[in-house]
Amino acid sequence: MIDFFFNAAPNPLKVGLFLEESGLEYRAIPIDTKLGQQHTDGYRAINPNSKVPAIDDDGTVVFDSNAILLYLAEKIGKFLPPADERGALLSWLMFVASGVGPYSGQAVHFRNFAPEKIPYAIKRYDFEARRHWQIVEDRLSHGPYMMGKAYTIVDMAVWGWAGRIPFMLSDEAAMDAYPNLTRLVAELDARPAAVRALALKDAHIFKADFDEEAMRNLYPQIFASDPD
């Protein structure tokens, strides 16, 4: 039995999709980050970085969403490309982990949640998020999936973030620039596994308000004293 520690954010969502696609038996354990549950000693023993998602696979603990995808895919031997494309798989998986996710996250943070509206930061991360998504779009112009003909964990990693693009960029028309990505998202959204993964967030009532408690738990640096 796999314990899956999650919330409704993009990174847990892609792991939820894998778990539903694979049919692996798992128990979904909500971690409400706005309530600070990620900072408890018990959860830090699972993920010292105090982030979700994480899994505990009968004593094997894995954190970071793309590491989890790779671990589970190799465990069951599914949603991977042919062996001679492993290098490309790792490249694209790490591209999502080190580029798409962070730049998209910073774009939404500096536009919507930062206590100071810094024009340079907003411009930089909006530009970089769009640039990274354009690279994904260009890749998808060469085949139905990120790895060509094979539906893999890279597509799951992309899907977790792609549905939030209009909100992240504060641009309802943002997806118009990415027709191939739009196609992929629509295809994956229609999969029964995706429907079940999306429903996970509705099985638990997460704190919705972005009040001071939530801000302290999500962005403690805002309230930290400046060093002397």
Residues 119-158 pLDDT 10s: 999 999 999 999 999 999 999 999 999 999 999 999 999 9
Q: What pLDDT sits at residue 222?
A: 76
Measured between alpha carbons, how far is 181 from 172 in angstroms, rounded to an integer? Answer: 15
Per-residue model confidence as pLDDT tens digits over 18-46: 999 999 999 999 999 999 999 999 999 99
H or E element, residue 198 = helix 192-199
Rounded mean pLDDT of 9-22?
97
Amino acid at 113: F
Nearest alpha-carbon partner for 101 in 14, 18, 190: 14
H or E element, residue 157 = helix 153-162
Q: What pLDDT sits at residue 7?
A: 96
Domain with CATH 1.20.1050.10 in the chain: 83-190
Name the average pLDDT for the chain.
Answer: 95
Q: What pLDDT sits at residue 199?
A: 95
CATH superfamily, with its number, for domain 2-78+195-222: Glutaredoxin (3.40.30.10)
C-alpha dist (Å) from residue 39 to 27, 34, 117, 126, 216 = 21, 10, 27, 29, 11
Domain with CATH 3.40.30.10 in the chain: 2-78+195-222
Whether domain 83-190 has CATH 1.20.1050.10: yes
Instruction: Tell me: pLDDT of 6 over 60.
Output: yes
Measured between alpha carbons, how far is 82 from 37 in angstroms, rounded to an integer? Answer: 40
Q: What pLDDT sits at residue 225?
A: 62
Is the CB of residue 195 less than 8 Å from the CB of residue 202? Answer: no
Q: What pLDDT sits at residue 226?
A: 56
Per-residue model confidence as pLDDT tens digits over 154-173: 999 999 999 999 999 999 99
